[in-house]
Amino acid sequence: MQRKVLLFPTYEQALFYRKSHAQANSAGILNISVETPYTWLKDAWERFGDGTKLVSSLERAFIVKYLIQSAKGPEIASALAPTEGVISFVSRFFADVVGSEEYSHALTSQSDSFSKAEQLLLSLIDPYRDLLKERGLIEQGDALSILSKRSLPFSFEWGSSFEIPLCFQRFFRSVAPSLIDDIVTPVQISKVSEPVQPLVLLATGPSAQNYLITKTVHRFLADFQNARESRHSSVFIVSSQAQKLYSYLSRSLPFNDSEKTTCKLYASRPFEETDFGRCFMALKTFLLDESHDLAALLDYVNSPFSGIEPIRRAQVIALVRGNRTLSCEEAHAMIRLMSPHFDTFEELFRDCDASLVLDYFYDVAAEIPEKDQAFRAEQGSAISALRSVYEQARQWNLSPEDLDFALQGLRIDCSCEVSVKGKLEKKESQSTKNDFGANPGHSCSTSFLEDGKIAEVFIVEPAKAEAFFGQHFDHVILCDLDSRFYSANERHDALTTLEKKMGLHSYQSNLQVKRKWFEQIKALAHSTFVCERVLNSGEDEDLYPSFLWDEYLSCYFAPGDLPDRNGLPTSFSKSSQMQCDEDFYDLNANCYFNYKDSLSLKKATQGVLVATDSCPNQLRPELFLSRSHTSLHSNESRINALKAEKLILSPSAIEAYLNCPYYWFISQRVRPQSPDEGFGPLEQGTFVHAVLEAFYKKLPSVVGQSRITKNNVDQAKTCFSEVFDEQLALQESLPSTRYVPVSSLEKAQVKQLKQTLIKNLSVQARFLPEFSPVYTELELSSSDCFEYAGVIIRGRVDRVDVNSAQGQFVVIDYKGSVSGHDAGFDPDKNDSFVLPYKIQSLIYAQVLKQKLPERPVGALYFNYRAQENAHSVAGSYDDAFVNLSGFARSASSVKLNFNQYLSLVEEEVSKRLEDMKAGIIEQKPLCNESCKYCPVTTCPRRLS
């Protein structure tokens, strides 16, 4: 008598079938086995096999690595290097080919169709089998081949349709041909069955996708809450980005006193993306790689497995990232002292005999504060997976640095759930593993609330969706139906080419597998079936709908029906569509528009933002700025002084505000800064300013005057070279904004910069011969009370050149580039005055009228990189007194009395600063260049 075997793709689905069948039939399941193909094979081989054990995928990978490394002959060594890709390729080959008749035919035939590399690959099968035999193992294909030749007491049926490996296809072709007939039977995508309602979601871009899905789920839950007769509701979501969607949706679960809502995630992630895996891989990179990357060490520091307290962790990261000269040895010693678990981690990288040390980290995971059950379960799975790898490595005498091939394919279950009930109840979070193992369906949680309503949201990655086939959910949402995630293309690589030559082929096409999968997902829906896709990827790539989307929607086209602009049938009712544009949800990009009122300005005594006394969890819309003050003591005097107080601003802050109030607020008040000590334009510019300041202070003692001329330029270059080296030597001891080259490339860049600056001295020798540098890094203190446009100016002027004979001065601001810095004005050509977007030097020129006896005739930006006269200078100059022909463009010349021009600029600036005094920080860029360096990349008004 034969025993019927009902086959399902996953253990969870088989278990669900058993339980459902047991509930429906009191007699239970008699003479029926409900299995997955692998669990059936494992049991059958134990009963009817030769005593060997089926090889696992991990064991196969280690055997393949050993086989390739120990293979003799230069041909094999050159054709099959033991890289991660080759090991994966050969492992797939053995899993597909071993045990097939086609392999035997390939060995006996003298076909010239096989290349030398393919012949070498075929020649490895017998040594592979020998290694398996030595270890008491057998390949699944060989086991199935042996069983197919025996009279087995089994008959087979599909419990559901799913993709099966080649070795099982060969077995069923031999013992149960009807199963193969079922596989090859074509399936067509169809409409939903009554009473299920179809719905389509269209997100304009990826940013709107999660919002649209969440909005749809909230709609379903609201309908459920309003339905008095319903006690339970379920939403099943299949998403290729399940973890991101879960993170977004679980934070927006609706609170209701009479309803408990649970959001469950069923997904897995690569080993290196778990907290423990990332910590392990980071230390592996730092300790075992030749580069000893400090960024990898900081990954370890930032991990909860480091055991370093959060405050100390932040301090260490700031210290390491803020010091480019810190050596690996110094960082290593510091982290060893601060991390209580570092020594134990180091033991893991000495040899693979240290696998027992991993037991220590189970306790570490359990003791990490503020982590829930789901976190501990995920980290425990990651530790167990690593232990399996170490145990295999120990058997094959491999060291920890040789394990990348085994770690690469490890995936760790990260399923979890969160539940909410009522406005005051805290969210509960736990692992779904136990529920998943018992029953992945919604019935596993019906004990949550006997008297109240229960709503459940399942978010499942496509690979885990098969575990739910055969169940029913009120609403099913299938996301990401574009060609990136669902394609009908068949796999084509060197392995498929070789298998085709051998005569091996799969009875299952990718097209049919995907269609059957789609139909089974659709069959889960009891009330609503929703298909969702994104219209625009947000990147440069074109985005096309998946063939599943096209075939499904084609079912709803009536004869003669034409698609609309989104490809939907016009007969598809508007009630069956939901669309979402990026601007409807993007709160980050539109943060300003959520708060229409201006900020109230306060004195800078309490910080930038403070909490109110009545609402300690809310922030007052107040902005704190420095103001001038007096030392008067009477109440009346203080009140009058308060009214007379003026803002204290730098020209750079004024320029930033005029370019865009919001850019000023972010760059000058919020000041987002990278913790890394850089080697970029900021550090280089600060260094060059310091070099030029020191150079012009030293120059008179060397050449006898303060300016460079064609007669002393050679002496000036020698002097500059010495000053450059002196300033470079001082950089390492500076407290901040250091210009410290570390790599050979950076040192070469410093040498190139030095040569560029030395050559630039020839340009300076020809620049404004009537003027001489008199002031360098001239400081304007707020205590000097230099007023401009109704505010007090503080700052530092790079250089002021003076023509003593004519009583004139020119303000010079050093720049690495002067492109776009032209700020001239010709009233005959311009009907109205337009404020230039670069005005720092103009502000300094107007303010210095209060300090210097000379009058201004220019406010210039000088390019210290210029090697020729042309385009080395830009800004504003009075062409009646200053000749910059050949240096600056005519767009920088001012055809107006220069004092009048400076006053015209100040008057316009004064008007704009009234908005600042009113607390306005609107996103209002002056021109395209205003947005060039703005850190707010999501600004909806960004011009460049």
Q: Supply the pLDDT for residue 564.
A: 80
Q: Supply the pLDDT for residue 527.
A: 95
Scanning 71-115, the segments in alpha helix (DSSP H) are 74-79, 84-97, 101-108
- Say how far apart CA 827 and CA 814 lie, in whole Å: 28
Q: Supply the pLDDT for residue 426.
A: 42
Q: How many CA atoms lie within 13 A of 187 on its CB side?
A: 24
- Say how far apart CA 703 and CA 700 lie, in whole Å: 5
Q: Quick one: tokens of 59?
A: 């064991």
Which whole number is the average pLDDT over 716-724? 96
- Contact, 887 vs 767, CB < 8 A? yes
Residues 400 and 420 in one domain: no
Q: Supply the pLDDT for residue 439.
A: 40
Query: Torsion angle, CA of 929/931/935/941, rounded to 10 degrees?
Result: -170
Residue whose structure tokens are 């050949």: 886
CB atoms near residue 462 (< 10 Å): 18
- Contact, 650 vs 632, CB < 8 A? no
Give a yes or no: residue 752 inside a domain. yes
- Which of 412, 438, 457 is the last residue in one of the domains? 412
> Looking at the predicted structure, is the pLDDT value of residue 372 above 60?
yes
- Say how far apart CA 737 and CA 847 lie, in whole Å: 28
Which whole number is the average pLDDT over 281-304? 92
**CA 188 to chain CA centroid, nearest Å:** 38
Residue-wise DSSP of 661-721: HHHHIIIIII----SS---SHHHHHHHHHHHHHHHHHHHHHHHSSSS--TTTHHHHHHHHH
Coil, helix or strand at residue 895: coil
- Of 835 and 206, the structure prediction assigns the larger pLDDT to 835
CB atoms near residue 124 (< 10 Å): 18
- Say how far apart CA 424 and CA 600 lie, in whole Å: 34
Rg of the chain over CA atoms, in angstroms?
Answer: 37
Q: Is the pTM of this model over 0.75?
A: yes
Residues 830 and 915 in one domain: yes
- Contact, 837 vs 659, CB < 8 A? yes
- Of 438 and 793, the structure prediction assigns the larger pLDDT to 793
> Looking at the predicted structure, is the pLDDT value of residue 589 above 50?
no
Outline where DSSP puts E strands in 555-621: 577-580, 600-603
Residue whose structure tokens are 């390491």: 320
**465: DSSP letter:** G
> Looking at the predicted structure, is the pLDDT value of residue 611 above 80?
no
Coil, helix or strand at residue 815: strand
Q: Supply the pLDDT for residue 608.
A: 40
> Looking at the predicted structure, is the pLDDT value of residue 624 above 80?
no
Q: Quick one: tokens of 105?
A: 């035919």
| Number of domains the chain contains | 4
pLDDT in tens, 35-57: 999 999 999 999 999 999 999 99
Which whole number is the average pLDDT over 254-262? 71
> Looking at the predicted structure, is the pLDDT value of residue 561 above 50?
yes
- Say how far apart CA 837 and CA 931 lie, in whole Å: 11
Q: Supply the pLDDT for residue 449.
A: 38
- Say how far apart CA 821 and CA 823 lie, in whole Å: 6
Q: Supply the pLDDT for residue 423.
A: 45
Nearest to 357 by CA among 386, 392, 395, 397: 386
User: Which residues constitute the domain of residue 805?
Assistant: 681-931
- Which of 497, 525, 553 is the last residue in one of the domains? 553
Give a yes or no: residue 498 inside a domain. yes
- Contact, 200 vs 481, CB < 8 A? no
Residue whose structure tokens are 């100016």: 793
- Which of 412, 444, 460 is the last residue in one of the domains? 412
> Looking at the predicted structure, is the pLDDT value of residue 804 above 50?
yes
- Contact, 876 vs 894, CB < 8 A? yes
Residues 160 and 243 in one domain: no
> Looking at the predicted structure, is the pLDDT value of residue 744 above 50?
yes
In the sheet where 787-788 sits, what is the strand order?
648-649, 791-793, 787-788
Q: Supply the pLDDT for residue 642.
A: 46
Which whole number is the average pLDDT over 688-711? 95
- Say how far apart CA 92 and CA 717 lie, in whole Å: 67
Burial code (b: 16+ CB inside 10 Å, e: under 16) for 628-646 equals: beeeeeeeeeeeeeeeeee
> pLDDT category, 434, cuts 50, 70, 90?
very low
**593: DSSP letter:** G
Residues 54 and 167 in one domain: yes
Nearest to 395 by CA among 65, 52, 42, 45: 65
> Looking at the predicted structure, is the pLDDT value of residue 597 above 80?
no
pLDDT in tens, 55-83: 999 999 999 999 998 877 666 666 788 88
Which whole number is the average pLDDT over 799-819? 95
What letter represents residue 105's amino acid?
Answer: H
- Contact, 142 vs 60, CB < 8 A? no
Residues 58 and 180 in one domain: yes
Coil, helix or strand at residue 63: helix
- Say how far apart CA 607 and CA 826 lie, in whole Å: 45
Give a yes or no: residue 355 inside a domain. yes
**193: DSSP letter:** P
Q: Supply the pLDDT for residue 576.
A: 67
Residues 473 and 521 in one domain: yes
Which whole number is the average pLDDT over 286-310? 92
Q: Supply the pLDDT for residue 330.
A: 92
- Say how far apart CA 241 and CA 264 lie, in whole Å: 14
HEC string for 315-335: HHHHHHHCCCCCCHHHHHHHH
Give a yes or no: residue 626 inside a domain. no
Nearest to 238 by CA among 581, 475, 74: 475
Mean of per-residue pLDDT scores for the chain:
86
**270: DSSP letter:** E
Residues 498 and 529 in one domain: yes
Which whole number is the average pLDDT over 254-276? 86
> pLDDT category, 932, cuts 50, 70, 90?
confident
Give a yes or no: residue 757 inside a domain. yes
Whether omega before 935 lies within 30 degrees of 0, making that bond cis, reads no
- Of 642 and 384, the structure prediction assigns the larger pLDDT to 384
Q: Supply the pLDDT for residue 919.
A: 84
Which whole number is the average pLDDT over 807-815? 96
pLDDT in tens, 510-550: 999 999 999 999 999 999 999 999 988 766 677 899 999 99
Coil, helix or strand at residue 562: coil
> Looking at the predicted structure, is the pLDDT value of residue 713 above 60?
yes
Q: Quick one: tokens of 836?
A: 């230039």
Cβ neighbours for 437, distance < 8 A, ≥ 6 positions apart: 12, 15
Report percent pLDDT > 70 for the chain.
86
- Say how far apart CA 550 and CA 544 lie, in whole Å: 10
Report percent pLDDT > 90 for the chain.
57
Q: Quick one: tokens of 817?
A: 């580039």
- Say how far apart CA 751 and CA 62 lie, in whole Å: 50
What letter represents residue 356's amino acid?
Answer: L
Residues 767 and 784 in one domain: yes
- Say how far apart CA 683 and CA 677 lie, in whole Å: 9
Pairing status of strand 232-238 against strand 473-478: parallel
Crossing angle of helices 510-522 and 547-554, in 10° steps, is: 60
> pLDDT category, 593, cuts 50, 70, 90?
very low
- Of 597 and 537, the structure prediction assigns the larger pLDDT to 537
Q: Quick one: tokens of 257?
A: 């006193």
Give a yes or no: residue 944 inside a domain. no
Residues 263 and 318 in one domain: no
Which whole number is the average pLDDT over 876-887? 93
- Say how far apart CA 466 and CA 521 lie, in whole Å: 8
> pLDDT category, 832, cuts 50, 70, 90?
confident
Q: Supply the pLDDT for residue 619.
A: 47
> Looking at the predicted structure, is the pLDDT value of residue 614 above 50?
no
Residues 696 and 834 in one domain: yes
Flag the least confident range among 82-86, 229-233, 775-779.
Answer: 229-233
**2: DSSP letter:** P
Q: Supply the pLDDT for residue 231.
A: 80
What separation, in Å, do the N-terminal and C-terminal C-alpha atoms of the chain show?
77
Give a yes or no: residue 150 inside a domain. yes
Residues 405 and 494 in one domain: no
What letter represents residue 259's amino acid?
Answer: E
Pairing status of strand 197-203 against strand 525-534: parallel
- Contact, 157 vs 4, CB < 8 A? yes
Cβ neighbours for 498, distance < 8 A, ≥ 6 positions apart: 93, 114, 118, 121
Residues 212 and 263 in one domain: yes
**CA 706 to chain CA centroid, nearest Å:** 53
- Contact, 382 vs 368, CB < 8 A? no
Give a yes or no: residue 603 inside a domain. no
